[in-house]
Amino acid sequence: MTPDTVKPLAGQTALVTGASRGIGAATAKALAEAGAHVILVARKVKALEAVEDEIHALGGTSTIAPLDLTEPESVTRLATAIAGRWQSLDILCLAAGYLPELTPVSQMEPKQFNQALLTNLVANQALLSNFDAMLRRAPAGRVIGLTSSVARNPRAYWGAYSVTKAAFENLLETYSAEVERICAVRVAIIDPGATRTEMRARAFPGEDPQTVKPPEQVAARIVALLASGFSALHRERID
């Protein structure tokens, strides 16, 4: 077995948001195990350090970048720091997300709705804007956006979350159309389906977590997709 077979993403640099837990953490570890150097982005330092320790235990490499993506200028500072160390960015995985309380549209709590907009949409636009140049300098830059089925199939009481995810998908599709003919950057929109995460447990408190798949299964699919490559706009649901 050749080294490239063992480490299909060797030599690549990946940035993963929401990397302190759930699908983000699982994806970060899977990317590192596949050979990528992973930049771990989330708010909680100790949680990021724990993920980094696991990556190092697997023989991988990573860099932690603790910050709140919704704070003004934080993404710009992050991009400046990363550009000072790496010439390009091969993978941008947008996994961070915020789930407000599930309420009727008429009773949305403004502060939580605004937080969802900032986390699920505004911060991701800032990431695309600030890392666009680095993605274009990569041989085959890839953007992976984690979405939800409620973005395309609205569900009662999920409005404060679903509308931000619908806008996020539109943002990614628009970006994909803009870069498709002028550079090698490509976009994938992934709906992970029912997955064993803290967010899922909050939304479905009575559900047995063992009845849904672990985040590692989603992470494995993302790595496989990146290793095989994809053209134009890729979209799939992982069941």
- Residue 102 tokens read as 């599930």
Q: Is 215 exposed, middle or buried (0-12, 13-18, 19+ CB in 10 A)?
A: buried
**Spatial separation of the C-alpha atoms in residues 210 and 7, rounded to whole Å:** 30
Residue with tokens 């993978």: 91
Sheet strand arrangement including 186-191: 61-66, 37-42, 13-17, 91-94, 142-146, 186-191, 233-237
- Count CB-CB contacts under 10 A for residue 85: 9
Q: Quick check: is 161 catalytic?
A: yes
**Spatial separation of the C-alpha atoms in residues 104 and 139, rounded to whole Å:** 46
- The residues pairing with 45 across neighbouring beta strands, listed in sequence order, are none
Q: Please tell me which residue in 98, 157, 161, 175 is annotated as part of the active site.
A: 161
- Least Cα distance to 237 among 146, 160, 120 occurs for 146
Please, which contacts does 48-53 make with residues 24 or more away whose CB atoms are closer than 8 Å? 48/19, 48/20, 50/20, 51/19, 51/20, 51/25
**Spatial separation of the C-alpha atoms in residues 76 and 79, rounded to whole Å:** 5
SS3 213: strand
Catalytic residues: 161
